[in-house]
Structure 1
């Protein structure tokens, strides 16, 4: 199953977790220092919260979570054929997970990633900047 990812900067992670838990009637799938994510089934959404004081309420990035690395590689080929700028990151550690991903920028420089999670990790590559 693919789902849209919405990564938000938040000032207060605990307050954001409480709010989104109530809003989506769901508990976080992962909580780490300065980071939490929700895997919402209805609507299909990966909600990522990144503590980034002074930037709360702003968009960090957008994404599409896909089921496998082969889908990421197919998206790389498709995006390159469409002449969209791509930045590949294979086996990268970000947001407390090892991921394969490709990045593109929209016409207003909004950052989108198409990614798959390979494994969970206990470390992050600075969640406010890796994604």
Structure 2
């Protein structure tokens, strides 16, 4: 089963977790410093909260979670065939999970990822790049995403989400 993902910037993670737990009648599936995610069954939604003071209430990025790496690779081929620029992140660690994913950018610069989770991780990410707010391409083409206090701490340098 695929499900939509909505990654939101929040000013205060504790109050956001309390609100969304009540709204969707479920507890977070994963909670780490500056980060929480909910695997909402009905409606099928992966809600990601990224503590990013001053940016609360804004979209960090959007996505579609799929069941397998094969589906990610099929989307890479399909999107490339449609002439869309794709940024691939295969076996990358971000948001406390190892993932295969592909990024595309919409016409209003909105960032979309299609991804599958391969395994949980105890770290936010492993790339040597320091995370930036949202997904941005740096000079050597590496993308960074998922800003927030967890992402910006000295021990969580990464390109991901």
**Alignment TM-score, normalising by the size of structure 1:** 0.97
Deviation at 1:89, TM superposition (A): 0.3
Higher relative contact order (CA 8 A, sep 6+): 1
Larger strand fraction of residues: 1
The aligned residue for residue 137 of structure 2 is none
Asked if 1:56 corresponds to 2:53, the answer is: no
The aligned residue for residue 21 of structure 1 is 21
| 5+ residue gaps, structure 2 | 126-130, 132-145, 152-159
Aligned length: 131
Larger helix fraction of residues: 1
Deviation at 1:45, TM superposition (A): 0.2
**Alignment TM-score, normalising by the size of structure 2:** 0.79
Aligned pairs for 1:1-131 (under 5 A) are 1-125=1-125, 126=131, 127-128=146-147, 130-131=160-161
Rounded to whole Å, the distance in 2 between the matches of 1:18 and 1:50 is: 14
Rounded to whole Å, the distance in 2 between the matches of 1:62 and 1:107 is: 14
Deviation at 1:37, TM superposition (A): 0.2
Deviation at 1:84, TM superposition (A): 0.6
Rounded to whole Å, the distance in 1 between the matches of 2:41 and 2:84 is: 30
